[in-house]
Amino acid sequence: MRLLNKRAIVTGAGSGIGAAISCHFAKQGAKVAVVDINLEKAEVVANKICVDGGEAVPFYADVSNSDDVANAFAGAEMAFSGLEIIVNCAGINQKLTACTEVSEETFDRMFNVNVKSLYFTTLHGVPILAKYERCAIVNIGSVGGIRPRAGMAWYGASKAAVNAYSAALALELAPQRIRVNSIAPVRTDTPMVWYMVDGETVEKRAKMDSEIPLGRIGHVDDIAQAAVYLASDEASFVTGQTLAVDGGRLLL
């Protein structure tokens, strides 16, 4: 098992990519704190992991709230008697909208969840990781943060911040031997991507698939498997990198 006896906390873990990462981590031997703003969804994911023979504990947290994040990290460390892995997966996007038409409320919520959350997980999580060995942080960015597109300007800006911060944090934490990397997924088959385009249709899916060199949009397992690698000791000499999991989209 690639993460045997590792102790991890995953935010945004109640559904989509975060749920997949939590399940893949558990299959690879990790104990997982499943954190989500929707506690019922976190409980469902944690229960599934336990039924499948893994170990997981659900926690509530609005990642844009410092106290919530602090409580989740303290609870995870207490539950597992330590913590070595942080996965910052919680995130929200916007609908395809001109940059001048995005509401201030949408902008604030997006940056609070996508960017400010990293401030809180750093503030409350890094001092915990510093007590243990062979630790890793994996942040979920986006190809939109590398190659922004019209109609998604503010979302792209928030994810560019994730990528840039991950590299800076990697430098800062290297003396403590804490590795930090980010993953940049392409459009992935989750409710978030269909929200962006006002709902899924056969035609919309076909168009999205056609825009990817490998012929399909991402699956949550694609991202989860990359997260397993970056969190594992197999990546012990990898830090400060943004790994695009995009079916070749950035090559176009």
Share of the chain above pLDDT 70, in %: 100
Where do the domains of the chain lie? 7-251
Q: pLDDT (tens digit, 9 = 90+) per residue, 57-77?
A: 999 999 999 999 999 999 999
CATH of region 7-251: 3.40.50.720
Query: Residue 24 has what DSSP assignment?
Result: H
Whether the per-residue pLDDT at 191 is higher than 90: the answer is: no
Examine the residue annotation and report whether 155 is marked as an active-site residue of this protein: yes
What the block records as the tokens of 31 is: 């104990």
The torsion of the CA quartet 97, 100, 104, 107, rounded to 10 degrees, works out to 50
Q: How far is CA 28 from CA 1, 31, 180, in A?
A: 5, 9, 20
Q: What is the mean pLDDT of the chain?
A: 97
- In this prediction, residue 154 has a pLDDT band, given cuts at 50, 70 and 90, of very high
Please determine, for residue 195, whether its predicted confidence score (pLDDT) is greater than 90. no
Q: Using only C-alpha atoms, what is the Rg of the chain?
A: 17
Question: Looking at 155, 165, 195, 229, which residue is catalytic?
Answer: 155
Please tell me which residue, 193 or 102, carries the higher pLDDT value: 102
Contacts of 190 (CB under 8 A, 6+ apart): 15, 16, 17, 220
Q: How many Cβ atoms are within 10 Å of 192's Cβ, its own excluded?
A: 15
Residue 148 binned pLDDT confidence (cut-offs 50, 70, 90):
confident
DSSP type of residue 151: T
